Amino acid sequence: MNKKPIDKIEARQGDITRLDVDAIVNAANTSLLGGGGVDGAIHRAAGAALLEECRRIGGCPTGEARITRGYNLPARHIIHTVGPVFRGRPQDRELLAACYRNSLALANENQIASLAFPAVSCGVYGYPMAEACRVAVETTLAFLEKHSLPEHVIFMLFSAADLKIYRDYIAALS
Ligand code: ADP
């Protein structure tokens, strides 16, 4: 029997650059040319060839996503998405949901079975973790309801406090 969407998602704590999955998602900026936080960590771990491919892509608007190879990462691909800077507007939620939806759609088109997300927009871009968690999980479950790929989605949180927010929210839905 097919697994239910809730059984295909999982929250874990750690460094997303270490994950051996088909694709990891990068919380990039519109230039796609690297930055701080998880973006910097991914570019450092993937190596200079990633920057070359990102240069050729030529940027990405907020809410959209682009795919590259994973280069020196254990992950085969990187899906770069650009989260909104949190300002407390209704559009923030829409744009963050679009990041998850568009990343999942790219994964689906590229036959990606295992995918890992960081907490997009929750660092320098200031999105409150608990609100972002609801958007991430709801949007992902709605996508998995309608599509068979990806088969497994990991939400990779950096801190124990962030992990608890995700685990509590997912447990309440189960
Ligand atoms: P944004 O600009 O979209 O806010 P950041 O990179 O500043 O992106 O932060 C997004 C989230 O990624 C934050 O919760 C941060 O703690 C987390 N983070 C930073 N480095 C890593 C990493 N190597 N693996 C997983 N998560 C990370």
102-112 pLDDT, tens digit each = 999 999 999 99
CB 123 within 8 A of CB 21: no
157 C-alpha vs ligand 1 centroid, how far in Å? 8
What per-residue confidence (pLDDT) applies to 2?
Answer: 80
Q: For ligand 1, is residue 34 a contact (CB within 6 Å)? A: no
Q: Taking the CA atoms of the chain, what radius of gyration do you get in angstroms? A: 15
pLDDT at 164 over 90: yes
56 C-alpha vs ligand 1 centroid, how far in Å? 24
Q: Around Cβ 126, how many Cβ atoms within 10 Å?
A: 14
What per-residue confidence (pLDDT) applies to 145?
Answer: 98
Q: Which residues have CB under 8 Å from 1's CB, separation 6+?
A: none
What per-residue confidence (pLDDT) applies to 64?
Answer: 99
Q: Tokens 């973006």 correspond to what residue?
A: 39
Q: For ligand 1, is residue 18 a contact (CB within 6 Å)? A: no
> 156, 150, 172: which is closest to 22 by C-alpha?
150
Summarize pLDDT for 91-129 with one digit per residue, the tens.
999 999 999 999 999 999 999 999 999 999 999 999 999
Q: How confident is the model at residue 81 (pLDDT cuts 50, 70, 90)?
A: very high
**From atom 3 of ligand 1, which residue's Cα is the shortest distance away?**
121
50 C-alpha vs ligand 1 centroid, how far in Å? 18
Give yes or no for a cis peptide into 5 (omega within 30° of 0): no
CB 81 within 8 A of CB 28: yes
Instruction: Establish how many alpha carbons lie within 13 A of residue 109's alpha carbon, considering only the half-sphere containing its beta carbon.
Output: 10
Q: For ligand 1, is residue 120 a contact (CB within 6 Å)? A: yes
Residue 152 has which token pair? Answer: 């497994």
Domains of the chain: 10-173 (3.40.220.10)
| Ligand 1 pocket test target in 43, 87, 122, 131 with most atoms within 8 Å of CB | 122
Which amino acid is present at 33? Answer: L
168 C-alpha vs ligand 1 centroid, how far in Å? 20
Nearest atom in ligand 1 to the alpha carbon of residue 42 is 23
2 C-alpha vs ligand 1 centroid, how far in Å? 32
